[in-house]
Chains A and B, each alone.
Chain A
Amino acid sequence: MGFDTVAALAAAQASSGQFWNSFVYKSTLPAVAAAGVWADGSIGAGIPIYNAYLGAALEFTPLTGSANRSIYTGPTISDSKYVAMAQIGTSAAGAPLVAMFADFLGFYPLVDTDDTAPQTMDNTQSLTRYSSGEGVQAFCVVQVPQSASATATVTLSYTNSAGVSGRTSTFGLFGASTIGNLCNIANTSNVASALTPFIPLESGDKGIRSIESMSVSTGIGGFINIVLCKPIFTLQLLEQNTVAEKVFFKESGTLPAVQPGAFLQFLTLRGSATTPIPFRASLDFTWS
């Protein structure tokens, strides 16, 4: 349940103990080779622990949060929690930086970006949260390094949130040699400046329920994971050695919801090329 009134929200935190302060500390987020490159915050040492994306090739592997596998949201409850406040910061030269927090729902591992033959995904398992796929996006994260800056065009077939299969997404890959970098480009311009967090969807679609197949026009080496996620909220950090902070009720009039079992992680967009950087975040969760 959510909150009917501001008083209920205040009481949850002030008198009912229905809150949890959670802290993220990553000593090394993945390096990025250029400005505008997104990176997967789940890959990196620290708390939450390194996410190795273990799974069988091309099989959809659901992700469920437990303990320190993802951002710990406090005692388990059967209903959603809400993010009351979030804060991010880095002491390294990684700013400006955008951090997009998302519920990583699952992934297709070991998709070969050096193989031009169509690769058919195994959807024996399906989404366990946001099961219709509405609002669910996909990104491609490097699992085995590719040829840096090599480009290819991807044709991906997916089922949208209305359950219509055979939908097509055509986008570019921009090869990255660093594990944890995102390599999808929203269009087929094949330039680094067009890197985006998520692959484009076919006109009118609201999300992805599953992916059926993928093929690349040219082999660029390496392997990727295709991750399905539900974006939750975004913060922008403008300067090194400052914090970006958001009190959601006050500043946006809403509280981002986090479903039970969420595998809460984050993506970052760096404003400049950086070596691996430390990153910290603080999230206050509340529930009714």
Chain B
Amino acid sequence: MKASSLIESLISLTIISIIIVVSMLIFSNILNSRYNISYFQALNRIEKIKTLNEKDKIFEKKNYKFKEYIIKQEVIPYRDNTNLLELKYIIYKGKENIKECYYLVRKR
């Protein structure tokens, strides 16, 4: 086996370190993505809250804690109609608002 020159070794070390840095960045980016399993579980939780609220006809301003998320439920009267309500769900991760959902429900 032949030994490689110093320049060759340096270049290869540089390339490998660049690859390691780039791959670490990509992996950390993917792993820390906002679309992880808990995010989808939080979305499902919104569906569950929505269905239960509509079934029981209980609509009130409320915060729900779910893992690292906070689901904020806001109830706003819809365009002067007393029987229609706009339900607004906001998912917060820390202070960051990561998703908003709107839904119109009937009070009666």
- B and A form one assembly: no
